[in-house]
Amino acid sequence: MQPTQSHADNRNSIMAMVMAGGQGSRLRPLTDKRSKPAVPFGSRYRIIDFVLSNLVNSGISTIYLLVQYKSQSLIEHVRKAWTISPLFPDQFVTVVPPQMLNGKTWFTGTADAVAQNLELIESHHPDLVLVFGADHVYRMDVGRMIEHHLEHDADVTVAALPVAREESSSFGVIVADSDGRVRGFEEKPAQGTPIPDDPSRVYASMGNYVFRAGCLVRALRDAQRNGETDFGSHVLPRMLAGSRVFAYDFADNRVPGVKSYEEQAYWRDVGTIDAYYAAHQDVLGAQPILDLFNPRWPVFSSNYQGPVARVMDSEIDNSLLGAATLVEGARVCNSIVRREAVIEEGAEIEDSIIMDYARVSKGARLRRVIVDRHNLIERETSIGWDLEQDRASLPVTDSGIVVVPRGRTPFFARGPRGGGGGYSD
């Protein structure tokens, strides 16, 4: 795995702590057996791969992943996919569960998660510490944010996403001067304070921070004494009084290799089933607004060694197929079919997501359905065509997305293609 050219200042020692303990309750049932960062995305990725790829592509390779809820599948994925280089001691992605060194409590907030691991920061003696979330699908040259941080001699820099003012209630809103100096934070206001010179938009906090290491350690020590546990609610507002806190406008971020038809500053919170489904639609089409093929800024993931997909006597339109998928005599339209799935003769799949190791049997019809892993969709089954009927046995969102929860028995173990399969998450 080789990182691309970075804009990060190599004169600074930089480490990253990624908040990967998200429970993801709004994504249920996809998070019944896994944490939110471990949820599959696209034809071969998981949500965690986006933040890790952004960091590695930006030349940052000292990365601690702080995990908590239902973390086993995430741990297995990181073990298989994110070995950077065993030859260089400062290049690693290491999973850190709650150590409970100072008490018998799990992480109780983002700041508490970092505070419980201050010894990791102190052992590396970095100049800068990045604290990034793991719950979003986006591309970001982190080096540009670091440059902004250094140019402004900031103690803390907060990544800020411009959003419509009427969307304020969905975000923590950053109040900033025209020079980017942060003056306050508003937690999900009905109408947030607008961006200077742009009354129609506000700065939404992306949950990504660059800290001067010494300032971070002092702030977290103070937070521990005061019983404060969260960056957005406690630590950052307190730091406004005595520290230089700046906003970094994510709209100015540019990533190498992004095509003219893409959304240049793409960022999505995929925290609900509807948002997760919509983000998948963004990677489809001849000119997707998020084109996952970018050799200059790749999204890294597991190096699966299985065969390529096979399609026989089928109609495939505007769809992505994962490795070792078999589609035989079926119709697949505007859909994503992940690794080692089987689509049998006469099946029709429209606007759907079929995850790894699932089998859609003969004559089944699926429309606007998310089928989680290890499922067997029986012959002639119809899902997504009669939502009232679907609601009797399956989760259905307000917009009409039907979810088939993860199969209870790993179907791949029963040999849908005479063998195959992998870790059964």
Annotated binding site for alpha-D-glucose 1-phosphate: 172, 187-188, 205
Numbered residues of the known binding site: 172, 187-188, 205
Judge whether 157 and 210 are in contact, CB under 8 Å: yes
Pairing, β 359-360 against β 376-377: parallel
Structure tokens at 212: 């001067």
Distance (Å, whole) CA 23 – CA 11:
37
Give Cα 168 to chain centroid, integer Å: 21
Whole-number Cα distances in Å, 262 to 94, 257, 265, 272, 367: 32, 10, 9, 23, 26
How many CB atoms sit inside 10 A of residue 286's CB? 6
Whether omega before 29 lies within 30 degrees of 0, making that bond cis, reads yes
* Residue 118 to residue 197: CA distance in whole angstroms: 40
Give the number of other Cβ atoms within 10 Å of residue 151's Cβ.
Answer: 10
